[in-house]
Structure 1
């Protein structure tokens, strides 16, 4: 490694604990305090104490034992974020079985692939729509035995089955679960676009959870801490956060409806927020649009400039100019305090992860009074590996390693991570495991640098993955290849890095286009410019895009495309010698098209 930095552990972390012990310890520490809160059918917040939630998990675990779930068996969950998801997750892992999360947006084909790769024996679906996905492929899933629907009473059913199992039987199973046992297989898209299962142990999760509490004590380990979690629990970051709430002193609020998220902020009153950058962008845009274009709009614009200037001055480490301090104080009363009320009025920090955070957005919220502490991690590291501290944070970096985590930069500039949270490997892919984890160092595929204080800055991405503003990792190869099966398409290049959705730039093959038009009884076109405008050609491209989109979830699909009149060739630098599109060259060349047409800012 040409650079290396390790954050030492302040207190040692036991290596042979299982995940259930985090919940059990919390129930012993704060038995009657609210642990998990959720919005009930009456629209009001309801609560489980730590003891009640632990007992709920034990009841479900006993039901799973009664239904024949053995150590090492895989159980899938396809549902939105909810207390039921959390309870099932911990119950499954508590008896040595493996939780296999599936995004509710996954296609039936993806469900089939994941179920078969991990040998899923039981599945919990949120509702009839999710069950229908499973039913559509169940005949092709040889190991699948039982499917339960949460909306149709799955929790109560499993608990009823569990009444025939004694507490002793549960505790025997729980105590047999060791730190080295697998806890979950989490699927994420690889460079080929095919989901890869990442094997994570109990020890992986316990280590990074306790490290997180020790590293972020201001956020997680003081009285009255509250987190509103609305990210999908199929994402490993959200699952880590539910566990870190158990291990700290945090009350965990669960919500999955982004349409009500602002109302949930106001009523739940979180002390910190975890979100992907897109959420903060939406809040910023909503505040800007609400201000309008009149006097209020001008005030908001000046307040924004002041917040950003104040933040940059604060980050410089130099004294903030007196005039700027005065302007900041004025706008704090007029504007900033109102924005902070959007989050419920008690929020102190926000942690941003899952995608790169725009520096302007970070400076704006920092200036308003809400530091956005950017972090970094991967599914392979149980989510977080580094995060900005609450004191001395540096905007533009992804922070410093959590306690017990080492980061390094290889001779090729690739960011590498070593810790007890690094995964066992890639399920059924020993060759990928051998390639990605070398001498304990996980090679992330991202390029980065480390400063003298241990702060890590990302400088680029080695692997060909698009990360949207919502934090979705999208491997474009499968969809692009499908679109290019159209007789008129020469190249399809998906874009959307740090953008709200996936789009595509599509080039045409003139000779093949004319041949296809003739076969369809239509007139040929004289050049590519005319081809781009031809409604018959466009309809064919749209058909190809729609067909390709059926292969993936909505978040991974092409939502918008532009047909360009340029030819991509090796001579103009847009293709490699093997005729693969050079994504960075093409996105740089079409930057204006991407920014001002595909993702044109909405007019207020």
Structure 2
């Protein structure tokens, strides 16, 4: 089945490189504020005009020329999301160089692989730790000539060194950058093995940005206001680069927040006050849990839960109305929603700065329930879809016909089909040029001009795409049942106590799960429980209460799937999966194979305990009628 492209305004074709937008905006609207810099720890922001940004980019580009950076050279950027990232990337593109993003949390081995595989001639690191990581692998990198450290004033020194280079030199280099020239070598997350470098052209990176701006740009802010975005997702990921591209190409004011921790992010949102929010599902999940925790601490937990249920019901009714499936919210629901708007929803939006009108979630699937909640409180969240190989997003919700639980429809000019085995295939202007140095891997995913995404999904009769999981993640039980783990894991994470979940069960008699707890919410939950008695008895009763609570979360997740696909056993793990332990990629994706290997003993014990319970059933008892095989297994 093929989706029909949306009939929306067409973006003008790209005629040069990505850096041209900086110079074009400065020429047309020199005073337009395009970036905002932090002025200090008090949370103030200083706006930077389009003309000022052009001068910074040009001056740094001259310094890069003085350092010997030439068209086609690859320069790695290993830093968090900060102001210098934006200036540096556009300066590199202005001289025809290629940006190689590297997560600053990458291991020594990952850094060595990327810099060597890409053939980088220079790398920009953020701090001393980054410099030491690169320094430890320099002997294996014969092409590497420069290591520049942001916190040591490297960019300022480059600008000083480039003072003797005529501005016309940069202008000449910028004008010969072709749309099909490679702009970025973006490495895949490496969940299944060695990361692969995706070559992305200037045209590929600009295409989704320009299409989204042409069709949806006017929705990013209230009428008459300049749109603003706080960029906090890593620019080391193509999603972050797309956010940067949309802002710079669309004249959207962009601030930078390098720290994803809520203690830094929430104050930044309140001080910057964005009109549009780009995030990943874990951020939206964390914000929801924080709303709930704050309400419970204030003694308003029950009020919040009623307001949240009303928000979801109101959004679902509006969705039925706009998609032709119902009449919309009734009088009673409208009244309840209006009451909670004054007492609850307004305060929730204020926690995000008070100006956010819409949002996009990407990186993995967002649950329908969470999407409906945010729409119900006044912030529609579009669940986006895209890959590194597609230079970012390739779907969007049609305005006025949004459908939560789906990722929308294919962008104009992009074609999405679903193969017989459920794999999503994509063709369009944002496809990558291939994997660097690996033509065999490129041929394996490009078939007759279509990208085999490795994702599973389906298109409904109206062309809305729903993602059901990754093809390589499908679990096959010993009984031959195929289970896609994404939905179960997503629903488990909706419970405020659950931080991470990994569904297992390959060659096992049933589906199981490894679960980690959210430490902040766990401490809050224990404080609310406030059990009396001595320490020993209190701990035992607390453990029983926790067992029951997680059991309810598992039962809620199981309600979305058939019995044969449901989680029958699970185990709580004492610590979360993290990058340092090799169980998460730098982009925070699960390394499933590594997790299963690390916790092999716990998984075996989990299933052994289940077999023991099943063996103790009375003769003749119907297993389907028993609750024992859905009991949990704790450490």
Query: Normalising by structure 1, what TM-score?
Result: 0.79
Q: Give the RMSD, CA atoms, in angstroms.
A: 3.3
Distance 2:60 2:294 in 1: 46
Aligned to 1:281: 285
| Offset at residue 445 of structure 1 (A) | 0.9
Structure 1, residues 301-357: CA drift from partner, whole Å, max 9, x if none? 211111111112222222312111111111111111100101111110011111110
Task: Report how many residues are paired.
Answer: 518
Distance 1:157 1:368 in 2: 48
Aligned to 1:463: 472
What SS is found at the alignment partner of 1:449? strand
* 1:174–1:112 distance in 2 versus 1, CA, 3 Å: same
| Offset at residue 223 of structure 1 (A) | 3.9
The 5 A counterparts of 1:62-211 are: 62-190=62-190, 192-211=192-211
Structure 1, residues 210-263: CA drift from partner, whole Å, max 9, x if none? 112112122358641111111011011111111111222311111112322211
Distance 1:126 1:376 in 2: 30
Are 2:11 and 2:211, in contact at CA under 8 Å, matched by a contact in 1? no
| Offset at residue 495 of structure 1 (A) | 7.1
Query: Is residue 53 of structure 2 the alignment partner of residue 53 of structure 1?
Result: yes
| Offset at residue 21 of structure 1 (A) | 1.2
Aligned to 1:36: 35
The 5 A counterparts of 1:489-500 are: none
| Unpaired runs of at least 5, structure 1 | 481-489, 502-540, 573-588, 599-604
What SS is found at the alignment partner of 1:345? coil
Aligned to 1:534: none
Are 1:13 and 1:207, in contact at CA under 8 Å, matched by a contact in 2? no
* 1:499–1:38 distance in 2 versus 1, CA, 3 Å: farther
* 1:554–1:253 distance in 2 versus 1, CA, 3 Å: closer
Name which of structure 1's ranges 453-462 and 290-299 shifts more when overlaid on structure 2: 290-299
Are 1:215 and 1:402, in contact at CA under 8 Å, matched by a contact in 2? no
The 5 A counterparts of 1:328-343 are: 328-343=337-352
Query: Is residue 22 of structure 2 the alignment partner of residue 18 of structure 1?
Result: no
Are 1:226 and 1:251, in contact at CA under 8 Å, matched by a contact in 2? yes
What SS is found at the alignment partner of 2:407? coil
Distance 1:591 1:215 in 2: 48
* 1:9–1:390 distance in 2 versus 1, CA, 3 Å: closer
Which of 309, 312, 317 in structure 2 is aligned with 1:313?
317
Are 1:373 and 1:389, in contact at CA under 8 Å, matched by a contact in 2? no
Aligned to 1:253: 255
Query: Is residue 236 of structure 2 the alignment partner of residue 234 of structure 1?
Result: yes
Aligned to 1:265: 269
Which of 210, 218, 227 in structure 2 is aligned with 1:225?
227
Distance 1:590 1:375 in 2: 37
Query: Is residue 408 of structure 2 the alignment partner of residue 409 of structure 1?
Result: no
* 1:282–1:163 distance in 2 versus 1, CA, 3 Å: same
Are 2:319 and 2:328, in contact at CA under 8 Å, matched by a contact in 1? no
Structure 1, residues 18-41: CA drift from partner, whole Å, max 9, x if none? 101122222123211210012133
Distance 1:37 1:591 in 2: 52
* 1:416–1:550 distance in 2 versus 1, CA, 3 Å: closer
| Offset at residue 590 of structure 1 (A) | 9.9
Structure 1, residues 426-483: CA drift from partner, whole Å, max 9, x if none? 111111111211122111111222233332111332133998979xxx9x9xxx9xxx
Aligned to 2:562: none
| Offset at residue 386 of structure 1 (A) | 0.6
* 1:208–1:319 distance in 2 versus 1, CA, 3 Å: closer
| Offset at residue 407 of structure 1 (A) | 1.1
Are 1:105 and 1:554, in contact at CA under 8 Å, matched by a contact in 2? no
Aligned to 1:513: none
Are 2:79 and 2:85, in contact at CA under 8 Å, matched by a contact in 1? yes
Are 1:355 and 1:498, in contact at CA under 8 Å, matched by a contact in 2? no
* 1:132–1:30 distance in 2 versus 1, CA, 3 Å: same
Which of 414, 418, 443 in structure 2 is aligned with 1:434?
443
Are 2:454 and 2:471, in contact at CA under 8 Å, matched by a contact in 1? yes
* 1:463–1:34 distance in 2 versus 1, CA, 3 Å: same
| Offset at residue 281 of structure 1 (A) | 1.1
| Unpaired runs of at least 5, structure 2 | 322-326, 475-484, 494-499, 520-573, 612-627
What SS is found at the alignment partner of 1:446? strand
* 1:300–1:62 distance in 2 versus 1, CA, 3 Å: same
* 1:12–1:304 distance in 2 versus 1, CA, 3 Å: closer
What SS is found at the alignment partner of 1:391? coil
What SS is found at the alignment partner of 1:207? helix
Aligned to 1:243: 245
Aligned to 2:362: 353
Structure 1, residues 383-426: CA drift from partner, whole Å, max 9, x if none? 10012244221000001122221111123221111111100011
| Offset at residue 551 of structure 1 (A) | 10
* 1:404–1:161 distance in 2 versus 1, CA, 3 Å: same
The 5 A counterparts of 1:418-567 are: 418-464=427-473, 549=582, 553=586, 555=588, 561=599, 563-566=602-605
Aligned to 2:294: 290
Distance 1:292 1:182 in 2: 51
Are 2:304 and 2:344, in contact at CA under 8 Å, matched by a contact in 1? yes
Distance 1:494 1:152 in 2: 49
* 1:13–1:398 distance in 2 versus 1, CA, 3 Å: same
| Offset at residue 121 of structure 1 (A) | 0.7
Distance 1:554 1:454 in 2: 30
| Offset at residue 567 of structure 1 (A) | 9.3
* 1:8–1:591 distance in 2 versus 1, CA, 3 Å: farther
Structure 1, residues 87-121: CA drift from partner, whole Å, max 9, x if none? 11111122111100000110011000000000111
Distance 1:200 1:293 in 2: 48
Distance 1:436 1:42 in 2: 47
| Offset at residue 188 of structure 1 (A) | 0.9
Are 1:373 and 1:390, in contact at CA under 8 Å, matched by a contact in 2? no
What SS is found at the alignment partner of 1:460? strand
Distance 2:90 2:206 in 1: 13
Distance 2:168 2:79 in 1: 31
Distance 1:365 1:550 in 2: 30
Aligned to 2:376: 367
